[in-house]
Structure 1
Amino acid sequence: MELLYKSTRSENETATASQAILKGLADDGGLFVPTSIPKLETSISDLSKMTYQEVAYEVMKLFFTDFTEEELKECINKAYDAKFDTEEIAPIVKADGAYFLELFHGATIAFKDMALSILPHLLTTSAKKNQVKNEIVILTATSGDTGKAALAGFADVPGTKIIVFYPKDGVSPIQEKQMVTQKGDNTFVVGINGNFDDAQTGVKLIFGDKDLAKVMAKSNYQFSSANSINIGRLVPQVVYYVYAYSRLLANDEVCEGEKINVVVPTGNFGNILAAFYAKNMGLPIDKLICASNDNKVLYDFFSTGEYNRNREFILTSSPSMDILISSNLERLIFKIAGNDANKNGELMKALSSNGKYEITKEMKNDLSDFYGNYATEEETGKTIQQIYEDTNYVIDTHTAVAACVYKKYKKETNDKSKTLIASTASPYKFTRSVMCAINEKYDSMSDFELVDELSKISGVEVPQAIEEIRSAKVLHETVCEVNEMQKVVKDFLNI
């Protein structure tokens, strides 16, 4: 049976999976959501005997129903191959009383690789299925990780161009170096004088500009998105939660049907939403623990029922979470609003005009699956230090936010359920913050000296993604103001 997608802001707009992937964002500015969340058809016992690629097919075929088996398997096999440095794709490490799901073994050493390795293949397959003759222009805002993962995925992919905007002073030195050294004739990286929310809002405005869309069409271009607003990014993220549970079962860490908690360091809300979708598919998940940093807009939302972005934007050592407008939360709001596009649309309009909205008591009651808390900068550093000293396991700053919040949750609730923590980036991506948290003496070293020192103390080989940027040439030097973003896009496309 075909599963269709509809907009969170309109009762009228529906699309097939391939159409939703191609568009990225609905015409009315809403996000595409499945008309229903399908149930897993294969038992977890059977899934536990499968490879990552096989589990991916069992999950994705339920969402992407207009793809043939051959098309979908080809996308999966091209995505999850030797570019990952472990055969498991997403291995689990047991440490400090929890299970760390390492999602950073792809080409750019962050969890975004898990979805952005397959999105280019889903997109180009979708274009063929829909007889699209235009060149696809991927337009993306990044808080650090999405940018490089998208650039790596789309570099030199025929029929595509990719433009990435990032906050010039809002990413780690390693993140920036990864992006500005990106090769590929179809790639374009732009720093903006602003924060991630400015970049994300600017990209959404460009997407929504009907006059620009006409100009683009005349030049045989059309936009699509690699941000987590694209359903083609969200569904592959569901896969690794299903796979992780199947691994825990295969390794006798859980009994079949035993419920686990999942902790996710959260910025744009896509990664934890994927876990929520997995739960709704029938995966035995109890609590979804939403971990925030000092930009604790989500913690405040889960605590009070009010989402309010009218606050200071704080630059932290976990920059991928430095976000005040969590775009994917809209998909959850739509669901707890009873799938009412009008009600959701009103709330999103209030967010746009007043910077805040408040949900009803009934809607708040529907958030019982979630627990929210946050970690301060000091707590984040201390968590990295404590876990290293106790276990010799080194985690990055984002994972540390999650680990810290998990400890707070356990203390507050005394819940002893087995718990999976989404480890979203390699410590090599945030070497200075990680090493200085372990010992302040490292602060005097250069970034690449710290890389070598991290390898020594962790016993983990320096990833290829870091080795290749040591002496890489900077290829992208464009910086613009927020109000110049559309002009920069037009200049790159010569339209």
Structure 2
Amino acid sequence: MKYVSTRGLTDPVSFNEAVAIGLAPDGGLFLPESLPDISPRLPAWKNLSYAELCTEFLSIFATDIPADVLEQIVHRSYGTFTHPDIAPLRKIDPKLYVLELFHGPTLAFKDFALQFLGNLYGWQCAQKNRSINVLGATSGDTGAAAIHGLLGKPLTAIFILYPEGRVSPLQERQMTCTGAANVHAIAIDGSFDDAQRVLKDIFANKSFATQHNLSAVNSINIARVLAQSVYYLYAWLRLPEADREKVEFVVPTGNFGNVFAGWLLQQMGVPILGFKVATNRNDILHRLFTTAEYRSGEVHPSLAPSMDIQVASNFERFLYYALDESPTRVNAVLAQIKATGSYRFDLLNKSVFSSSAASDEDIAALIKRVYERYRYIVDPHTACAFKDLNPQRVSVVLSTAHPAKFPAAIHAAIGQEPTAPALDELKSRPIVKHRLPADAEAIKAFITQRAV
């Protein structure tokens, strides 16, 4: 299978090439040249373990990786998870399930993709006997998960940009207290959108990216999207058959990558009824699905910092399909967004997508309500998903992070402070970070000094 750029100015590449490059040279995002129909395979996949299902699914897309190698990479990746189901599906009410995605090494859903990507990078480096420098931007969980996917791996270095003072203290510690020589946590002045802008500027400098074998670890990397599709499929297969026909996945998301991974699965023939996009006060996606207008605004710090975003980078992939897979139309829309800051769709399918936005006051109230009603503790991001659930549908809420990562918000809401041993251990370690401006030249100079 080949992969094409959403902007149409890059020759098709293999899966391995798409993963290694990350961002297409024309600035676009890679997608499969065509999407397969996986519906005939669903009955045979029903009783597979998570790792077995992941191997079967990814083998459709990673056609240039030997089957035994792919199987080893997948099993190694999910062998680090602490729950035997990897992504347990918990029923907390007759029409309400929670898909727990926080049993990986950094207690966040990003581990699903980034443990896999880290091991895939390790294999690629060993195959080619060359180094790789991984660059990413994070609003919280991506950075920690990416770092732990590459922790101590030979021939690799990882550089993670994050907004100073705008991630939770424990999220920062997960990035800055590893003690690993190949990890470089860079705190920039500004927002996550500033970090993401710098990252794209650096990758746009093709000679610099080639010189340092740069690769992207953000959800712009197609391997991340495909790996995330698997947990939707795993959950759908474990629902009672009657519930599968009317299920809506409720997804806390700011960058659109998580919900796009589920929507892509629907395009491959999995009969998922719909998706609800749950945002915080930075509600660009909620406004998109209620007004059909994509318009960026100012980023406001919130209790759910991983969603403090106003430029949803994965939206470009959705745009590609919404515009009939026409790179010419994609480029025209992107040019309009760059010039005016907005784009209005003629029509968005509201039978597939719905949305909600939660203020900080809503988040605190939702944490309390969920605990009182279900005796279940959710983190601030997951709490956003419990706002205005559709009573006509079966809801599967994606629980994206362990509540222990946000002790202050949980304690303020319910008077309890959940803990996790992996996080408690970090509190005694020294923080090692590098404070830099949100400037591509400054970051490039830093990378040049420390690249492997």
Interval of TM-score (by shorter of Structure 1 and Structure 2): over 0.9
- Identity within the alignment, %: 35
Q: 1:34 to 1:430 in 2, by over 3 A?
A: same
Q: How far off its partner does 1:12 sit? A: 4.4
Q: Which residue of 1 aligns with 2:100?
A: 102
Contact 1:289/1:371, CA 8 A, preserved across alignment = yes
Instruction: Name the counterpart of 1:49.
Output: 47
* 2: CA distance, partners of 1:42 / 1:188: 45
Cα offset for 1:488?
Answer: 2.2
- Distance in 1, matches of 2:186 and 2:126, equals 29
Question: 1:42·1:58 contact (CA, 8 Å) conserved in 2?
Answer: no
DSSP-derived class of the 2:107 partner: coil
Runs in 1 of length 4+ with deviation above 6 angstroms? none
How does 1:79-228 map onto structure 2 within 5 Å? 79-81=77-79, 83-96=80-93, 97-127=95-125, 131=128, 133-213=129-209, 217=211, 221-228=212-219
| Cα distance between partner residues in 2 of 1:210 and 1:11 | 14
> Aligned letter for 1:491?
Q
Question: CA–CA distance in 1 between the matches of 2:30 and 2:156?
Answer: 22
Distance across 2 between alignment mates of 1:45 and 1:199: 43
Once residues 244 and 250 of structure 2 are traced to their aligned partners in structure 1, the CA distance between those partners, rounded to angstroms, is: 19
Alpha-carbon deviation of 1:300?
A: 1.1
Q: TM-score, normalised by structure 2?
A: 0.95
Separation of aligned partners in 2, 1:466 and 1:435: 16
Q: Which amino acid aligns with 1:70?
A: D
1:47-446 equivalences under 5 Å are 47-81=45-79, 83-96=80-93, 97-127=95-125, 131=128, 133-213=129-209, 217=211, 221-248=212-239, 253-255=240-242, 258-309=245-296, 311-359=297-345, 361=346, 364-366=347-349, 368-406=351-389, 410=390, 415-439=391-415
| Displacement after TM superposition at 1:477 (Å) | 2.7
Which of 443, 446, 449 matches 1:485? 443
Give the secondary-structure state (helix, strand or coil) at the position aligned to 1:324. Answer: coil
Quickly say closer, same or farther: Cα 1:20–1:367, change in 2 above 3 A.
farther
Measure how far apart 1:98 and its partner are. 1.1
> SS at the partner of 1:285?
coil
Distance 1:282 1:433 in 2: 39
* Whole-angstrom distance in 2 between the partners of 1:228 and 1:358: 24
Deviation at 1:257, TM superposition (A): 5.5
Contact 2:184 2:433 in 1 (8 A): no
Let me know the Cα RMSD of the aligned residues.
1.8
**Counterpart of 2:422?**
465
Q: CA deviation at 1:365?
A: 3.9
Cα distance, 1:137 vs. partner? 0.6
Cα deviations across residues 81-122 of structure 1 (Å, max 9, x unaligned)? 0x2110100011222541010000000000000111110122
Which amino acid in the other structure matches residue 330 of structure 2?
A: N
**1: CA distance, partners of 2:136 / 2:120:** 17
Q: Which amino acid aligns with 1:307?
A: Y
Higher mean C-alpha displacement, 224-233 vs 274-283: 274-283
Confirm or deny: 8 A CA contact 1:292 1:321 kept in the other structure. yes
Structure 1 residue 385: Cα displacement: 0.2
The 2-side partners of 1:335 and 1:16 are apart by: 20
> Counterparts of 1:231 and 1:284 in 2: how far apart (Å)?
22
- Higher alpha-carbon deviation: 176-185 or 323-332: 176-185
2:335 and 2:70 map into 1 onto residues whose CA distance is 37
Where do 5+ consecutive residues of structure 1 fail to align?
A: 440-452, 456-461
SS of 2:201's equivalent in the other structure is helix
- Output the CA distance in 2 between the equivalents of 1:345 and 1:128: 37
Instruction: State TM-score, norm by structure 1.
Output: 0.87
Query: Structure 2: how far apart are the matches of 1:365 and 1:380?
Result: 27
Partner of 1:443: none
Instruction: Tell me how far apart the structure 2 counterparts of residues 326 and 169 of structure 1 sit (CA, whole Å).
Output: 21
SS of equivalent residue, structure 1 residue 312: coil
Could you list the runs of 5+ residues in structure 2 that have no partner in the other structure?
none
